[in-house]
Each structure stands twice: as C-alpha cells, then as structure tokens.
Copies of this chain bind each other. A is one copy, B any other.
Amino acid sequence: MKNDDRTTPASPVTARNEGRRPLTLRDVSEASGVSEMTVSRVLRNRGDVSAATRERVLETAKRLGYVPNKIAGALASSRVNLVAVIIPSLSNMVFPEVINGISHVLEDTELQPVLGVTHYQPELEEKVLYEMLSWRPSGVIIAGLERSEASRAMLLNAGIPVVEIMDVDGDAVDSVVGISHWRAGREMAQAIVDGGYRRIGFLGTKMPRDHRARKRFEGFTETLSKAGLEVEDQEYYEGHSGFAKGREMTARMLERSPDLDFLYFSNDLIGAGGLLYCLEKGIDIPDRLGLAGFNAVELLDGLPRKLATMDSCRRQIGEAAAKVIAEHAGGNGGGASAGAERIVLTPKLTYGDTLRRG
C-alpha cells in the first residue's frame, strides 16, 4: 500500500462529536501555522516539503483527528480512486470470490472497489450503474455481457475503462475477462457422452435472467445433439440454491424419469443436494447414475463423494479484471482506456467420483 503515513488520528477526542463541523484543511493549517497548500502537500506526499514542516503538520493533523474530505479533493483534481464493481448477487458462492480477487489486486493500488448489486434485474443494473457513474469512478467492472441499451450507452460514454467479467461469449463494450460458458457446457457434455451416459436430465435455475447458465445449457445440448442425444428431462427452480432444492428437484425428476443415467446441475449446490439424495436412495453412483455440477465450490470438498464439476475461475477473473483496470486507469481522470483487452480463462473439469471417465 502506498501513502502509509496517512494521519490516522491517535485517540484525540473522547467526547462524541455532536454535530460539530468536520475539520478542514484550514483548521490544520491554522493550528500548525502552515499554509493550507503545504498541509495538503504533506498529507498527499506530493512535492517537496521540509522534514520539519512535515513533522509538524502530520502531528497536528493527527492530534486534531483530521480526516481529509475526498469529495472536495476529487472535485478539485478530477481524480477519483474508486472502481465500480457491479454484480448480480452476493447470495451464491460465486461473486464473493470474484470480489476477493478484485480486492486483493486493488490492495496494492490506490484504487478502491465500490460494490453494486443488481439482483439479476436489468433495470436495477441501469440504476446502479447510473448511480455509480455519477461518482465518476476510475473504472467499472461489471458482470455479464447482456444489458439494456441504456446501460451499454452509459458504459460506452463513461470515458473510463470498463471490464465485463465472467463471460466471453458475446460483444464487449471494452475489455472482457471470463470463461466461455458455452464451451464449458460443451465440454461437460462431451465428458458425459464419453463416459457412456446416454439418458441425460438437466436441473437448473429458470434462465431468462441468468445468461451464463443459459449459455452453458446451449453448449451442452449442442454437443449432445452432435452425439445424437438430447436432454430427456428438465427441472427448474427459483430462489436461493441449497441442498434442499437439489434434493427436491432430483427426487421429482427421478420419479418422473427413472431411466435417466445422468443429471447435469447448473451449480454445485443443487448438485450436492442431488448427490446426497441419490446416496441415500442407494443409487449406484457413478455407474447407474452420473452427476455433475458447476463452479467448483471449495466448501463442498468433503462431501461423501466428490461431485464432478467445472471450475468457473472466479477468483482469477476478479484478479485479472482488477489488473486490467489498474493498468488502464493509470492515466489521469477522464482518459479513456488504452486498448480493450480480452482475457479468456480455461475452466478445468473435475471428474470427482460422480462422473465415469470415458
């Protein structure tokens, strides 16, 4: 981290600040007998200031408990070290990890992530984006490639680096970092076919909103159909993922279509629920029935059997996206991106104990 000798106040005042006016540079200036400008320089480590003055200013600022007003600073310098991070949800395991990746990289930077959540609603995305852009951030990291025309226009016009993450199947506004969900679906289908499975069911979210799940499904069916197969049964759910959901769906599907020999789940959580259900029912896995999920959620390591899955490279995506922003935002405020980047990561297939190898 740069700028480490910021003035974090020691323990100056003990009484509660009852609506007192916040301290300004001027207060520090007067208390230390140095011009505002010099105080400003000390606090930002800019320009040459004599060691003595420096000491005095730092001491005063700390004693008073001065906290700079970034609003004024940002307005004056038209430099805002904020990165807007816009994601659909915090509830599933995937985005928190992306955020961790982003934070991790930005920690070595002056940039700070600011989070917005859209709940998979394009209108809300539009609102959140507008709100965040009105703070003139140094960059935007935003999930997905599908969005309203208005949102796209805002991104295009923002004049700051934009990284669309998670998905690379489509047209990006600027840079993009992610995996091909379409390909992930294809590869899983191929592995399933190679494993000798023939009667396949799909269990997932209602997809109109979750484009990445949809693309995986499309890739999946496409590869199946090349092998002369098709998805024989499907089951969808709404609401939060969880084991219980996976169980119920699996139960319903196997009751309806007892002859299926493979279940492809749109995420590991419901997949794990399905797995637990099948184990309880004494179903022979992976021979009588194979199972696979998606995401490679780490917390699930330790299930009775390891669920076949595919890594969604969440943390790496976050890291790579943050790097792109850090590099492109290097310029001053207002500058546009140097050049759009396209970073495609390759998810790794894990066979685990629920997918027979071909």
A154 CB–B CB distance under 8 Å = yes
Chain B, residue nearest A299 (CB): B242
Q: Which of B12, B72, B244 contacts A301 (CB 8 A)?
A: B244
Rounded to whole angstroms, the CA-CA distance of A303 and B302 in the bound complex is: 13
Rounded to whole angstroms, the CA-CA distance of A103 and B19 in the bound complex is: 26
- Residues of B within 8 Å of A269, CB to CB, are 299
A45 CB–B CB distance under 8 Å = no
Chain B, residue nearest A128 (CB): B112
A96 & B100 in contact (Cβ 8 Å cutoff): no
Report the copy number of this chain in the oligomer: 2
Q: Mark A278-304, 1 if CB is under 8 A from B, else 0.
A: 001000000000000000001111111
A13 & B300 in contact (Cβ 8 Å cutoff): no
Chain B, residue nearest A112 (CB): B131
Rounded to whole angstroms, the CA-CA distance of A126 and B103 in the bound complex is: 16
A330 CB–B CB distance under 8 Å = no
Q: Which of B8, B113, B303 contacts A130 (CB 8 A)?
A: B8
A212 CB–B CB distance under 8 Å = no
Q: Tell me the minimal C-beta distance from A87 to chain B in angstroms.
A: 11
A334 & B244 in contact (Cβ 8 Å cutoff): no
Number of interface residues of A (CB under 8 A): 79
With contacts A149-B11, A159-B18 taken as known, whether A242 is within 8 angstroms of B75 at the C-beta atoms is: no
With contacts A157-B65, A159-B18, A299-B242 taken as known, whether A10 is within 8 angstroms of B117 at the C-beta atoms is: no
- Residues of B within 8 Å of A117, CB to CB, are 99, 103
Rounded to whole angstroms, the CA-CA distance of A159 and B71 in the bound complex is: 17
B103 & A99 in contact (Cβ 8 Å cutoff): no
Of the listed stretches A49-57, A132-140, A193-201, A229-237, chain B binds A132-140
A17 & B69 in contact (Cβ 8 Å cutoff): no
Q: Tell me the minimal C-beta distance from A23 to chain B in angstroms.
A: 9
Q: Tell me the minimal C-beta distance from A77 to chain B in angstroms.
A: 10
- Residues of B within 8 Å of A243, CB to CB, are 299-303
Q: List residues 107-166 of chain A with CB under 8 A from any CB of chain B.
A: 112-115, 117, 126-127, 130-131, 133-136, 149-150, 152-154, 156-159
B134 & A70 in contact (Cβ 8 Å cutoff): yes
- Residues of B within 8 Å of A100, CB to CB, are 90-91
Closest CB pairs A-B (n = 4): A243-B302, A244-B302, A242-B299, A90-B96
Chain A residues near B (Cβ < 8 Å) = 1, 6, 8-22, 65, 67-72, 74-75, 80, 90-91, 96-97, 99-100, 103, 112-115, 117, 126-127, 130-131, 133-136, 149-150, 152-154, 156-159, 174, 240-247, 269, 273, 276, 280, 298-304, 334-336
Known: A13-B157, A19-B336. 19 other contacts (CB 8 A): A11-B153, A16-B336, A17-B156, A19-B159, A69-B75, A71-B75, A90-B96, A90-B99, A99-B117, A113-B115, A114-B114, A242-B298, A242-B299, A242-B300, A243-B302, A269-B299, A273-B302, A276-B303, A276-B304
